[in-house]
Structure 1
Amino acid sequence: MTEAAEDWREALRAKGYRLTPQRELVLGAVERLRHATPEEVLAVVRESSSAINLSTVYRNLEVLEELGLVRHAHLGERASTYHSVSGRPHFHAVCRKCQKVTSVDPSVADGICERLREEYAFEADVAHLTVFGACVDCSSEPT
């Protein structure tokens, strides 16, 4: 068992939650998909267990987010998208044309974070930030 796997199991136990196969399947699906809606998570989970339904996925995502193991982001018009926090910290750049999601290193936002701090005495949490625009492929297409 990996150290990361044991860490999340300990986090569950410390908060009084049971370690269930459903939670393990949901977290595994989120990690596999990288950025996924609850419906996409359900599709992957159902590859292993047809007994899990969408409400079970939502409940487990809520618990996993409370434990700090996943985060949600709003990446457009669709349902909230969940991603694991086990990878490197990042925020999202989303192409409005092709819906491509790019994970961006938080240091890219250092300038705006500094201005917010200096001018507004505001500490930004860029890990929940989503920036919309056009990716290089779509911005070079004729309109």
Structure 2
Amino acid sequence: MAGSEEDWREALRAKGYRLTPQRELVLAAVEKLSHATPEDVLAEVRRSSSAINLSTVYRNLEFLEELGLVRHAHLGDRGSTYHSTSGREHFHIVCRKCQRVSSVDPEVAAPLAERLRESYDFEADLGHLTVFGECTSCEERPDHDHEHE
């Protein structure tokens, strides 16, 4: 990880940017939390610094995404969820019942990507793909959603 960290620091310097302490805190929070909303990132950053507010987190997430250090995905009604690009490329599956998010290797969707390329002359961005459904453990449980209505 130290080598890749130095790589992106060097890439930032080459583009004339620097990783400010605020940006570093936001990036570290995203990396620690794995999949996090801006509010999740703010809560994590606030453990180290109370000088950062939500608008600062949003600005830094946008900046870090422009640089390719983080990505966002839409994992349901939570809004954008951010994850670091330092890990392996992946797409997401989300259970509509228990809200569990799982990362899936893009090779699983390779046949779909190939079909889109051949049939539609379309290059899919699998990193933004989210597939919603129901996990097996939820399928096995009786549905109790109506008890709370």
Instruction: Give the TM-score band, short-chain normalised.
Output: over 0.9
Query: Match for residue 91 of structure 1?
Result: 91
Q: CA deviation at 1:3?
A: 1.3
1:107 aligns with 2:107: yes
User: TM-score w.r.t. structure 2 length?
Assistant: 0.91
Secondary structure of 1:73's aligned partner: strand
- Letter matched to residue 48 of structure 1: S
Query: Match for residue 117 of structure 2?
Result: 117
* Deviations, residues 67-119 of structure 1 (Å, cap 9, x unaligned): 10100000001120000011111000001111100000000001111111121
Stretch moving more, 38-47 or 9-18: 9-18
Query: Match for residue 34 of structure 1?
Result: 34
- Once residues 109 and 19 of structure 1 are traced to their aligned partners in structure 2, the CA distance between those partners, rounded to angstroms, is 34
- Once residues 87 and 101 of structure 1 are traced to their aligned partners in structure 2, the CA distance between those partners, rounded to angstroms, is 16
Runs of 4+ in 1 over 6 A off after TM superposition: none
- Once residues 79 and 116 of structure 2 are traced to their aligned partners in structure 1, the CA distance between those partners, rounded to angstroms, is 29
* Deviations, residues 20-55 of structure 1 (Å, cap 9, x unaligned): 111110000000000000000000000000001111
Query: Match for residue 2 of structure 1?
Result: 2
Residue correspondence of structure 1 range 65-76 to structure 2 within 5 A: 65-76=65-76
Two-structure CA RMSD over aligned residues (Å): 1.2
Query: Match for residue 130 of structure 2?
Result: 130
Whether the 8 Å CA contact 1:69–1:84 is kept in 2: the answer is: yes
- The unaligned stretches of length 5 or more in structure 2 are 144-149
Whether the 8 Å CA contact 1:64–1:70 is kept in 2: the answer is: yes
User: TM-score w.r.t. structure 1 length?
Assistant: 0.95
Q: CA deviation at 1:9?
A: 1.5
* Percent of paired sites with the same residue: 76
Q: How many residues are paired up?
A: 143
Stretch moving more, 16-25 or 62-71: 16-25
Q: CA deviation at 1:14?
A: 2.4
Query: Match for residue 49 of structure 1?
Result: 49
Q: CA deviation at 1:16?
A: 2.4
- Letter matched to residue 62 of structure 2: E
- Once residues 52 and 119 of structure 2 are traced to their aligned partners in structure 1, the CA distance between those partners, rounded to angstroms, is 49
Q: CA deviation at 1:4?
A: 1.7
Whether the 8 Å CA contact 1:11–1:67 is kept in 2: the answer is: no
1:13 aligns with 2:10: no
Q: Which has the larger radius of gyration?
A: 2
